[in-house]
Chain A
Amino acid sequence: MSAAPDIHAMQDIGDLELMARRLRFKLIQMSHTAGTPHLGSALSCVDILVAAYWKILKIDAARATDPWRDRFILSKGHAASALYATLAERGFFPREWLDTFAQHKSPLAEQPAPDCAPGVELATGSLGHGLPVGLGMALAGRIQKQVYRVFVTMSDGECNEGTVWEAAMFAPNQKLENVCVLIDYNKWQATGRSNEVMCLPSLREKFSAFGWSATELDGHNISQLVEAMSKIPNGSGKPVAIVAHTVKGKGVSFMEDDNNWHYRIPTAEEVEKARKELQQP
């Protein structure tokens, strides 16, 4: 990647959309170089990460463990490349680290390890862990009178896990209004349509029935994401669930909504095609 855009200068949505394209291409390069799967899953959550990291989170790369920081947990750990690329762009660690992704002795494993890199809040990869741990972090903030928010991004397939619903049932009774769950609802899980594997619809109604303030939006519309995430807490006294409708493999025509890209690795030729589509130098 070339010179970093100044985050303070990135005020309008156009800048953020440019960043999202830049990140998408980086993820494709990382998958190609490292030979790692889950590219489709990483591409689908890029806009959520951009909205959170450039517009919402109160974080400082120079003080990555500040107790008062907002927490962002990428509970869908298989999309770790998207988190790493985002953190590198936000200055948490050198961009060169991305070139070592998933290689022997790299700090950046295929799925994140504890404290593997500044800004990574949780080791994820086994699904259904991020929300319970996130609730614990939110409760700790309340007990210690530290005002911060906890954002947890899950996949739709992840909502198969029982712990998601244990946590969903617990949070509203504690009035954990500083918690926001984002569901990257790309309609696919590893081997099938998520709506066919389990009875997922309607996720918004499910969270609503569990006592959450639940909304749904276009998970690739950064303005909508920023608008929704900027209202945490939203005054209802309830935790917030944002069901973000997304497309797996978003941004590259031949990857979009094709679940082969859960596991496929792009060839050099495909990387070049993607480069053109994403208008990258």
Chain B
Amino acid sequence: MRNAFAKQITELAQQDPRVVLMAGDIGNRLFDKLKAQCPDRFFNCGVAEANMIGMAAGMAMSGLRPFCYTITPFITYRCLEQIRIDVCYHHAPVVIVGTGAGLSYASLGATHHSCEEMGMLRLIPGLAVLAPADEMEVRGAIKAALQYPHPVYIRIGKKGEPVVHQTEPEFIIGKSIPVRGGADVCLLSAGTMLPVALEAAEKLAQQGLQARVESFHTIKPLDETLLAEVFAKFKIVATLEEHSVLGGLGGAVAEWLANSGARGRLLRFGTKDEFLHETGEQEQAREFFGLTGEAIAARIAHAHRG
């Protein structure tokens, strides 16, 4: 996904003289083409994320469209106040891109995990929160963010994630992308959980349950039209994310559901309210939290029977 980001931001920088890329001492060689073609609009801001976000806000207030890029926990937790005050309070259209989000860097330990940041950022007024599913959606998300008149946060994976979409889908902020049809249960997937959601749908199909799957890439603003539709249609709606079940997509949908008058059952799949201490790769971390196609399908099938 980071390669898709690099390609897309390079194209946008060539087309739009307002686009600036700021990186936090990351992306070795990834941005060589952008640096060569737009040398005055690339900044390695060093290992100083708070200053990077503040500077981006100053640029955005002065007519530019800066994109800030580094590893997710450092560009979110570390500089939360800069995002809140410099960017969002001033309505400065900065795009913040966190790479290696969720459990992408599972093996590096919890310092590099980000399973709470969507919840934190979703609370800040005026900030859109996006979790594209694959490199096709990353490209769409970056383009949509540049057109969006407000600040945007985008969490992406690292590299080599499975590509779900054959072609680039139309990416509209706040509008879910349908991926698979089904009439029995509905799976809303955020970010790189989409292939797992499709795997769960396959397992459910083997048990005679047809699952609709949506790439629910925008955590804020919520696609309330789609939520109203699926909670009216389906007995069970599940949210899937590589993020805590508190505060992220599942949290946002639960809040919506509480106010909506809808009566469906919501199942939230995500990480637990704890730090992961077990050493392992992303796959093992997902297993630890029950974020596999098999585990998800089993829990949904059980709920559907009950």
Contact = CB atoms under 8 A, between A and B. Distances in A.
Interface of A: 67, 113-114, 122-123, 126, 129, 131-144, 162-163, 166-167, 169-170, 174
User: How big is chain B's contact interface, by range?
Assistant: 20 to 34
B86 interface: yes
A137 B63 contact: no
A132 B40 contact: no
Contact of B82 (A132, A134, A169, A174): A132
A142 B48 contact: no
A156 to B, nearest CB: 20
Contacts of B86: 129, 132-133
Contacts of B71: none
A111 to B, nearest CB: 11
B41 interface: yes
Given A114-B91, A129-B82, A166-B50, A134 B64 contact: no
Nearest to B58: A136
16 contacts: A67-B62, A114-B89, A114-B91, A123-B90, A132-B55, A132-B57, A133-B61, A135-B54, A136-B54, A142-B40, A143-B40, A144-B63, A144-B64, A163-B54, A169-B46, A170-B46
Interface string B59-92: 1111110100000000000000110011001110
Secondary structure type dominating chain A contacts: helix
A79 B13 CA distance: 40
Nearest to A134: B58
A162 B50 contact: yes
A129 B54 contact: yes
B85 A132 contact: no
B130 interface: no
B45 interface: yes
B41 A143 contact: yes
Contacts of B81: 126
A137 B82 contact: no
B20 interface: yes
Residue in B43, B46, B48, B53 with the greatest tally of chain A CB atoms within 10 Å: B48
Nearest to A135: B55
A126 B85 contact: yes
Contacts of B89: 113-114, 123
Given A137-B61, A143-B20, A169-B46, 4 more contacts: A129-B82, A133-B57, A133-B58, A136-B61
Given A123-B89, A169-B46, A136 B63 contact: no
Contacts of A133: 54-55, 57-58, 61, 86
